[in-house]
Chains A and B, each alone.
Chain A
Amino acid sequence: MGAAIVGTGESPYVRRPAEGATTQDALADAARRALADAGLRAADVDGLAVGSFSLPPDHAIDVAWQLGLKTRWLMDDTTGGASALNMLGHAVAAVERGEARAVLVLAGDVMSSQGFGRMVDRFNSVAQRYLAPLPHGGPNALFALLTQRHAAAHGLERADYAAVPLSQRAWAAGNPGAVYRDPMTLADYLAAPLVAEPLCRFDCVPVVSGADAIVVADESLAGEAPAITIRAQRSSFNWDQQDGEGLHTGLAPLADELWAAAGVGPAEVDLASVYDDYPVMVLIALEDLGFAAGDVGRLARERIGTRKLPVNTSGGQLSAGQAGAAGGMNGLVEAVRQLRGEAAGRQVEDARLALVSGYGMVLYRYGACANAVVLERKGGS
């Protein structure tokens, strides 16, 4: 029995959460929307996966109880920006093994900037001991250093990296769900306050509150909308023991295998949702996956910047906002919506194949988790 994504839902992203709003509220709202989209009820759900930074002391089991879900399969995910695809992969496997028929996958956070700041200082024991005392203030400075290293290695300038936030802001103009939609020019980007050179305000994801959800189910449960199936998926955790330069991810050694298993290549993909914690990571992931053809600058300027290669068509986290652990789910939901023809205002024509990638969990200097999936629209119109 094949598994497919049969529904999506997003609890609207907001800059400041409403008074008294909780992470549980956002997750419940996204869940309700996804189930409605899938044409399913809570009684139909027999699997649940939850990814959220701010959910503790509650866990997925508490969410199951709150939402009235009696399940045969359950997981909590803590892989940050890799969580969406990590949960997707496990949910697909559960459905294919017959352990569950309909799995609700949720991710999100209701968080303030201050809450985010507290979280990054306590992020892991290495951050507490070696980074928080500096202080490092979170991952921005780390990826500023990494961007400098990448720029030197590839001969790139700020304007090249700007292609990522600029193109994504242009895509966001067609996404009512994006929080940041004001048009942005290169002049705006170059004049923006620096956070840590060479990164400016527009290179760093804005913290928002919200949540995303998908339903992974047996293909037979797909309603009128086309079922979205997984052609191939690969994942990598701690691939280089944090001993490298961060200029490649664990996807690099897996790319050939991913495309061989998918039976298609990068050139056949209609759009990509690439985890965009920073512009440099969008370029790195796409290069690792074989989209750069040996010239990262050209990828940035001539493919991403021109939007000939649709990347992060929701606006990505850089324009839609990062709702904590929902960051990766935003790209997955967007890819599914594009493939189902539900992206009015930014629709990629006749989208049939999508690449979605995840990245996360900075161990010390860069992320240690990376994953990628090739999605396909099955039949339908």
Chain B
Amino acid sequence: MSGDPVAPTALRIPVCRECGRPAFPPPRACPGCGAADWEERPAGTGAVEQLTTLRRVAGAAMERPVRLASVRLAAGPVLIARAGDGVEVSSAVAIVTLADGALEARATEER
């Protein structure tokens, strides 16, 4: 065991084996066909559609504001992620899961 921090992992999302529909967050029954038979596949890239900076919580300013993005994956589902460095509205992004469980949208060259 090296003691290195846990590296971010690329997000994988469930895809219905019956009808091919991806879903996120993962439901039990496929909203398309009702089957409960999933396989995990890479989430793939997406685009940032909206972006906001959370500055105040419980009536007080946050020490470290958080940039939060609404990302539409090319595969279809929309998810909420922390916006990584340089990520802006319309940015092409890939989603990783950080050690603390947070989803982060990171800028990618892909379109």
Binding site for B on A (CB under 8 A): 113-114, 116-117, 126, 129-131, 133-138, 140-142, 144-145, 148-149, 193-198, 201, 241-243, 245, 364-365
Closest to A240 in B: B31
Chain B residues closer than 8 Å to A136, beta-carbon distance: 54, 66, 68, 80
Closest 5 CB pairs of A and B: A133-B101, A241-B31, A137-B57, A133-B102, A113-B58
- Also in contact, A135 and B66, with CB within 8 A (given A126-B25, A129-B101, A241-B31): yes
Closest to A148 in B: B50
- Also in contact, A134 and B82, with CB within 8 A (given A114-B58, A126-B25, A149-B70): yes
Please report which residues of chain B, range 42-71, place their CB below 8 angstroms from some CB of chain A when the two chains form the complex.
49-59, 61-62, 66, 68-70
Closest to B83 in A: A134
A135 to B102, CA, bound (A): 8
- Also in contact, A148 and B58, with CB within 8 A (given A131-B80, A134-B68, A136-B80): no
The reply to whether A195 and B56 form a contact with Cβ atoms under 8 Å apart is yes
The reply to whether A201 and B56 form a contact with Cβ atoms under 8 Å apart is yes
The reply to whether B102 and A197 form a contact with Cβ atoms under 8 Å apart is no
Total B residues in contact with A, Cβ cutoff 8 Å: 31
B81: CB under 8 A from chain A?
yes
Kindly supply a per-residue 1/0 record for chain B positions 16-28, scoring 1 wherever the CB is within 8 Å of any chain A CB and 0 otherwise: 0000000001010
Closest to A131 in B: B80
The reply to whether B55 and A134 form a contact with Cβ atoms under 8 Å apart is no
Binding site for A on B (CB under 8 A): 25, 27, 31, 49-59, 61-62, 66, 68-70, 77-82, 98, 100-103
Chain B residues closer than 8 Å to A144, beta-carbon distance: 52, 54
- A sample of 20 inter-chain contacts (CB < 8 A) reads A113-B58, A114-B58, A117-B58, A129-B101, A130-B79, A134-B66, A136-B54, A136-B80, A137-B58, A144-B54, A145-B51, A148-B52, A193-B55, A195-B55, A198-B52, A243-B31, A243-B77, A364-B25, A365-B70, A365-B78
Q: Which of A114, A131, A133, A138 has the most CB of B within 10 A?
A: A133
Q: Which of B31, B58, B101, B103 has the most CB of A within 10 A?
A: B58
Closest to B76 in A: A243
Q: Which of B52, B100, B103 contacts A141 (CB under 8 A)?
A: B52
- Also in contact, A117 and B68, with CB within 8 A (given A134-B82, A136-B80, A144-B52): no
A232 to B101, CA, bound (A): 45
- Also in contact, A195 and B54, with CB within 8 A (given A133-B101, A136-B80): yes
A206 to B82, CA, bound (A): 26
Chain B residues closer than 8 Å to A130, beta-carbon distance: 25, 79-80, 103
Q: Which of A114, A134, A138, A140 has the most CB of B within 10 A?
A: A134
A267 to B53, CA, bound (A): 39
The reply to whether A145 and B66 form a contact with Cβ atoms under 8 Å apart is no
A135 to B63, CA, bound (A): 13
* 17 extra A-B contacts, CB within 8 A, seeds A117-B57, A148-B50: A129-B25, A130-B25, A130-B103, A134-B102, A136-B80, A137-B58, A142-B80, A144-B54, A145-B69, A149-B50, A193-B56, A193-B61, A194-B53, A195-B54, A195-B56, A196-B52, A201-B56
The reply to whether B80 and A134 form a contact with Cβ atoms under 8 Å apart is yes
Chain A residues closer than 8 Å to B57, beta-carbon distance: 117, 135, 137-138
